[in-house]
């Protein structure tokens, strides 16, 4: 009924709007006095210093969080971090041994592939740290450490607040490790902590512009093919933007690393093709812009996502621009995902789709 949806038309919309509160819940106790405090982590400093390989395993959107995590953790820790689809990991005779850390990410804590991958890694001696939303779930119970996301129950099949809180937790974990390993400078550490605390209020600002995203959705909802493009963190974000759109609107949508356009995808860009260009990541903004110019030259209709700093310049090239506030680079996907969730939601709404229960999909995939 309408009551359980808190007055929102769908659980998905309600959960999108719950994100500021959910992220506060996930971070408040863990960010104090300008520091990351992970009281729920049982790993000792020595164990953290002795971690061997770091491998993230997950499925779907949780895997996309892992993709963001790979960029951020590698940057903070200056060591390689792998992110592997759980369904691939379990059958790959994985190279993991004692001392390695496997990070399992799952909203439900019941995803069969993630569970099987976790068991495979555990059997080989890895330490398991999971980032889970559902308290007491199977994955949480079988892990050596659990960092709960505290997002509250997520009902809509398309994940929103779980994705956001998983990302917040992974960023905090990265900062926590980096501090112990001595791989992050004071300034970056402090800026990250400060900006993480700003994420909820910045998301509130983005949510205030929901109607303008609805307007954009009305303009592009008839598209049958969409290409999301981006580099670095914008690439990781494009994977999630594309999945959100396809799962609830049934529009054919693909995510491409912008640099790969010339290696094949650009042959699909013809007059009127919709390209959603993610250009939030400041260091590579010029590259994002030149890709926009390139696809427009082939006739693409471009919708861009960028930060306040670059909005004007982007607007000189592109007719439709969505803007997010400026924040520390590593936190851009925390903000950038919100307009993409709203966009997917409103497009699905315009198309009359069953948003909370899209066809063929289950909230938690407990079969292979």
The footprint of ligand AGP on residues 1-60 (CB under 6 A) is: 59-60
Residue 131 near residue 124, CB atoms below 8 Å: no
Radius of gyration of the chain (CA): 20
CB 6 to ligand AGP: min, Å: 20
Cα–Cα distance for residue pair 95/41, rounded to 1 Å:
25
Q: Is 364 in the site for ligand AGP (CB under 6 A)?
A: yes
Instruction: State which of residues 87, 106, 143, 291 lies at the interface with ligand AGP (CB under 6 A).
Output: 106
Report the distance separating Cα 19 and Cα 30, nearest Å: 17
Mapped to the 3 state alphabet, what secondary structure does 292-325 carry?
Answer: HHHHHHCCCEEEEEEEHHHHHHHHCCCCEEEEEC
Find the binder of ligand AGP among 26, 157, 229, 292 (CB under 6 A): 157
Which candidate, 88, 363, 367, places its Cα nearest to that of 247? 363
Tell whether residue 158 is a contact of ligand AGP (CB under 6 A): yes
Q: Rounded distance, CA 359 to CA 362, Å?
A: 9
Q: Which residues, 6 or more positions from 18, have their beta carbon under 8 angstroms from its beta carbon?
A: 151, 152, 161
Report the residue number, 67 or 178, with the smaller CB distance to ligand AGP.
67
Tell the smallest beta-carbon distance from residue 254 to ligand AGP (Å): 16
**Interface with ligand AGP (CB under 6 A), residue from 87, 159, 165, 232:** 159
Q: Is 301 known to be catalytic?
A: no
Both tokens of 254, joined, read: 């693909």
From 104-112, 260-268, 286-294, 302-310, span contacting ligand AGP (CB under 6 A): 104-112
Query: From the CB of 193, what's the least distance to ligand AGP, in Å?
Result: 26
Residue 76 CB, nearest distance to ligand AGP (Å)? Answer: 23
107 forms part of the interface with ligand AGP (CB under 6 A): yes
Q: How far is the CB of 54 from ligand AGP (least distance, A)?
A: 19
Residues in region 247-276 near ligand AGP by CB under 6 A: 247
> Distance between CA 316 and CA 298 in Å, rounded?
18
Answer yes or no: are the C-beta atoms of 269 and 297 closer than 8 Å. Answer: no
Which residues form the catalytic set? Answer: 363
Residues interacting with ligand AGP, by CB under 6 A? 59-62, 106-108, 111, 114, 157-159, 247, 364-365
């Amino acid at each position: 009924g309408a009551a359980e949806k808190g007055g929102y038309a769908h659980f998905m919309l309600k959960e999108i709007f719950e994100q500021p509160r959910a992220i506060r819940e996930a971070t408040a106790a863990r960010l104090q006095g300008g520091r990351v405090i992970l009281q729920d982590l049982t790993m000792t400093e020595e164990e953290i210093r002795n971690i061997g390989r770091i491998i993230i395993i997950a499925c779907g959107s949780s895997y996309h969080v892992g993709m963001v995590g790979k960029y951020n953790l590698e940057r903070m820790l200056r060591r390689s971090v792998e992110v592997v689809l759980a369904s691939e990991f379990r059958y790959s005779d994985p190279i993991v041994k004692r001392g390695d850390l496997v990070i399992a990410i799952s909203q439900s804590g019941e995803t069969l592939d993630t569970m099987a991958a976790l068991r495979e890694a555990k059997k080989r001696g890895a330490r398991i740290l999971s980032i889970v939303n559902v308290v007491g779930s199977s994955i949480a119970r079988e892990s050596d450490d659990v960092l709960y996301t505290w997002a509250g129950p997520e009902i809509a099949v398309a994940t929103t607040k779980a994705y956001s809180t998983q990302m917040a937790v992974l960023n905090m974990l990265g900062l926590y490790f980096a501090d112990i390993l001595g791989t992050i400078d004071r300034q970056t550490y402090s800026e990250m902590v400060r900006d993480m605390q700003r994420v909820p209020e910045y998301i509130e600002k983005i949510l205030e512009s929901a109607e303008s995203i609805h307007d954009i959705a009305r303009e592009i909802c008839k598209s049958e093919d969409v290409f999301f493009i981006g580099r670095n963190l914008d690439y990781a974000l494009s994977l999630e933007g594309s999945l959100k759109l396809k799962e609830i609107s049934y529009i054919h949508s693909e995510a491409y690393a912008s640099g790969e356009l010339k290696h094949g995808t650009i042959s699909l860009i013809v007059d009127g093709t919709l390209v959603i260009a993610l250009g939030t990541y400041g260091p590579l903004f010029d590259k994002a812009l030149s890709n926009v110019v390139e696809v427009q030259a082939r006739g693409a209709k471009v919708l861009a996502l960028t930060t306040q700093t670059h909005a004007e310049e982007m607007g000189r090239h592109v007719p439709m621009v969505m803007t997010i506030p400026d924040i520390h680079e590593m936190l851009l996907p925390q903000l950038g995902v919100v307009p993409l969730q709203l966009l997917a939601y409103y497009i699905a709404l315009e198309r009359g789709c069953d948003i909370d229960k899209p066809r063929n999909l289950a909230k938690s995939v407990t079969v292979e």
